[in-house]
Amino acid sequence: MAESEAQRPEVVVRRSARRRRTVDARREGDTVIVSVPASMSRAQEAHWVEEMLRRLERSEQRRRPGRRAGDDELASRADRLAREHLDAVGPDGRWPRPVSVRWTRPMRTRWASCTPVDGTIRVSERLRDVPGWVLDHVLVHELAHLREAGHGPAFRALEARYPRSERAIGYLEGLSAGAGLEIGGEADGDADDDG
């Protein structure tokens, strides 16, 4: 069985006499509901189910980039964000370059962490399902720790270079409260004490 077939969600097709020309798809948990006109042929239905699954996947990938991203994609994303938002911030005029950026098992008290002394960034797998702009904020936050270990004014100035930081912090606070997690509003609490 192909990998895409193994990961295919359950699909429920709903035919509607009120629906004339449009086809719609939405996810309800692990199931995708595809609504089609009752007059549609079975061949047309099959075509539109596949098309709507592709569209839904593309849309979800744009909104939830971490869902299937591996460590390499996460590192590439961090590199792009460093160039876009933290360029020329160091004494050498270069953006902060982590040695590694990787997903890690869910952390109890942090969304992510950075160890400046060895240049490693770890991102909680809890963030795989957040919108891309929230993941981007967390990465910028951790990248800023490569220049400023603490959360002082210089660090805040770096973090603020990402235009949606304040909104992302609010999202993470709401996510934490809604899930009953004891994760603070900071992306990581403090930079690791390893350095």
pLDDT tens across 108-122, in order? 889 999 999 899 999
**DSSP string for residues in 27-81:** EETTEEEEEEETT--HHHHHHHHHHHHHHHHHHHHHH-TTSS--HHHHHHHHHHH
Averaged pLDDT score across all residues of the chain: 82
Phi, psi of 127 (to 5 degrees): -90, 5
Cα–Cα dist 139/121, whole Å: 8
pLDDT of residue 73: 87
Tell me, letter by letter, the H, E, C secondary structure of 119-168: CEEEEEHHHHHCCHHHHHHHHHHHHHCCCCCCCCHHHHHHHCCCCCHHHH
Domains and CATH numbers, the chain: 3-63 (no CATH), 71-179 (3.30.2010.10)
pLDDT of residue 149: 86
Q: What is the reported pTM?
A: 0.64
pLDDT of residue 136: 94
Q: What is the mean pLDDT of each run of 10 residues along the chain (195 residues)?
A: 54 90 83 90 92 80 64 89 78 75 88 92 91 93 91 93 93 88 58 39
Task: List b or e across 163-194, with b for residues whose CB sees 16 or more CB atoms inside 10 angstroms.
Answer: eebeebbebbeebbeeeebebbebbbbebbee
Phi, psi of 173 (to 5 degrees): -65, -45
pLDDT of residue 107: 82
pLDDT of residue 121: 96
DSSP-derived 3-state class of residue 177: helix
pLDDT of residue 47: 93
